[in-house]
Amino acid sequence: MQQIAHLFYATVFLFQGSSGKPIDWSGTVPEFRDYQRRMWAGEVDLADEDVKIIYGRVHWERLLQNVRQARYNDAHRTVADRRAIW
């Protein structure tokens, strides 16, 4: 579910922030936990289009990091094994 949430947030904020224009993927983005901390501290204003793109990219990068981990494949195997039982 976490990966679905990251995909959802990435999609929505990239779509809203880009206003139909191409997104520049070349720059680096802040680390997910740090950016979340800054949001909760009120340091991030999601009303700004560029900030929406950054937020979308932060979620996209977190999604990519998570699906590349071994535990993601383990979770897939667990779900597949349970489906075979039913």
Q: What is the pLDDT of residue 53?
A: 97
Please compute, for residue 34, the number of CA atoms within 13 A of its CA located in the half-sphere on the CB side.
5
Mean pLDDT of the chain: 91
Look up the domain containing 44 and give its range. Answer: 2-85
Number of domains in the chain: 1
| Cβ-based neighbour number of residue 79 at 10 Å | 10
Q: What is the pLDDT of residues 22-64, one digit of tens each?
A: 999 999 999 999 999 999 999 999 999 999 999 999 999 999 9
In this model, does residue 78 exceed pLDDT 80? yes
Distance CA 39, CA 33 (A): 10
Tell me what pLDDT residue 14 has: 97
Could you tell me the two tokens for 34? Answer: 């740090």
Task: Write down the pTM of the prediction.
Answer: 0.84
So what's the pLDDT on residue 66? 93
Task: Find the helix packing angle between 49-67 and 2-18, rounded to 10°.
Answer: 150
